[in-house]
Amino acid sequence: MTKYIILIFISFISINGHSQDPNFSQFYNIPVYYNPAMNAMDNGLTITSHNRSLWGLIPNQLNTFILAAEIESIGPFNLGGLVMSNTEGQSNLKTNAGYFNFSFTPPTFDQKKYKIQFGTSIGVLNKSINSDNFVFSDQLDEVYGKIHTSSFENNTNSFYTLDLKFGAAYRYTHLFKVNTKLYKYLITSGFAISHFPSGRQAFIDQSLNNQIKTTFHTDYKFMVNSKVYTASLIFENQKPFQTFTFGFSSRLPISLEANSHKMSFGTYYRNRFNSKIKDSDAIIFTLGSDIFYGQNKRRIKIYYSYDLTISQLNNNSSGGSHELSLQVKFDELIFLKAKASKNFKQRMHKCPSDL
């Protein structure tokens, strides 16, 4: 059956509405999307493909795709890029964006145990809508249905706007032994501000801008011999939405060859800040595989997560959400490495990129 979307709906979105950026259950696998300072925080080259499908049982659900690349460079500067495509609902509201990412690591803050980075993203965001899919109330006849021409006129079905992000990130690691067991922990935290200064977000009212978004994220990884346990948290504030996700995962070796293949299992919880437990959004289950090769300097990560909807929408109506992440890492690939000085090569990879 055709879904009728009346004028008051589009007016609400375009004049009085607020939109929220897409968020991801596997936020720890696409940190550069949230914080440009996480660009090339890990060593070498990292390429990430990330796809999220929201509420599979609802027709024309929300789908978001991200492709990102980031590379460590000689000197204190690192480079990267990210493209995003997001489609929302039956009206084919589409958001496409492309960003250049730059991160800066002051040599003073690039030490064996810790590293501090600052970053910025400069991008262009495009929003478009297929207004032919709208049916307004003045087009409808009570007997014959849609037979009239609407008096509503909208000459703007697409627009572009500049989008900027800024962030800072900190990483600290420590290694120690107790008897014969090797222990190591790594803490990574960051803060970012997006859409500052804010750009346009509405089709009709050009003065209505994107809400500025602030993000705080942190994770704590603890390794016992070759087993890694992680606690992760992210908090997103984009008025009037305040969302947090936190949870735990473990990464365990399953191969006879030491550390050549690890499986990851995790459980996470998402809710609105200051909301009651009964208003919770989702419980998230993750399953992943890390495959190492080439003396552990290269890695392929494949992670899948499923959001079990526990809000009033309920899982039977939504069908839950699915997320798939594919990441390829090459620790030894450094931009302009051949031209690096001897001193730079000696200090490369001081602070570990992972456990």
Q: What is the dihedral of CA 299, 324, 101, 341, to 10 degrees?
A: 0
Average pLDDT, the chain: 81
* HSE of 75, CA atoms in CB hemisphere, 13 A: 9
**In this predicted structure, which of 2-6, 30-34, 154-158, 219-223 has the lowest mean pLDDT?**
2-6
Q: Which residues contact 111 (CB under 8 A, 6 or more apart)?
A: 350, 351
Please report the pLDDT score of residue 8 as a whole number.
Answer: 35
Grade residue 138 by pLDDT with cuts at 50, 70 and 90: confident
More confident residue, 137 or 234: 234
Each domain of the chain, given as residue ranges in start order, spans: 7-143+156-347
Q: What are the distances in angstroms from CA 1 to CA 5, 60, 171, 341?
A: 13, 13, 53, 67
pLDDT confidence of residue 204: 66
Choice among 16-30, 88-102, 140-154, 163-177 with the minimum mean pLDDT: 140-154
pLDDT digits (tens, 9 = 90+) for 39-88: 989 888 999 999 999 877 776 668 899 999 999 887 788 999 999 998 87
Sign of CA dihedral 130, 134, 136, 140: positive
Q: How far apart are CA 112 and CA 202, in angstroms?
A: 47
Reported confidence tier of residue 347, pLDDT bands at 50, 70, 90: very low
Structure token digits, residue 147:
């037979």
The per-residue pLDDT for 12 is 38
Average pLDDT over residues 329-351: 62
DSSP code of residue 13:
I
Instruction: Tally Cβ neighbours within 10 Å of residue 198.
Output: 16
Characterize 105-117 residue by residue with b for buried, 16 or more Cβ atoms within 10 angstroms of its Cβ, and e for exposed. beeebbeeeebbb
pLDDT of 353: 65
CATH of 7-143+156-347, one of 1.10.10.10, 1.10.4190.10, 3.40.50.170, 2.40.160.40: 2.40.160.40
Q: Which of the four pLDDT bands, split at 50, 70 and 90, describes residue 2?
A: very low
**Section 323-333 average pLDDT:** 90
DSSP string for 175-210: EEEETTEEEEEEEEEEEEEESSS--B--SS-TT-BP
**Residue-level pLDDT at 96:** 92
Predicted confidence (pLDDT) per residue in 300-318, tens digit = 999 999 999 888 877 777 7
Report the alpha-carbon distance of residue 348 to residue 74 in Å, rounded.
9
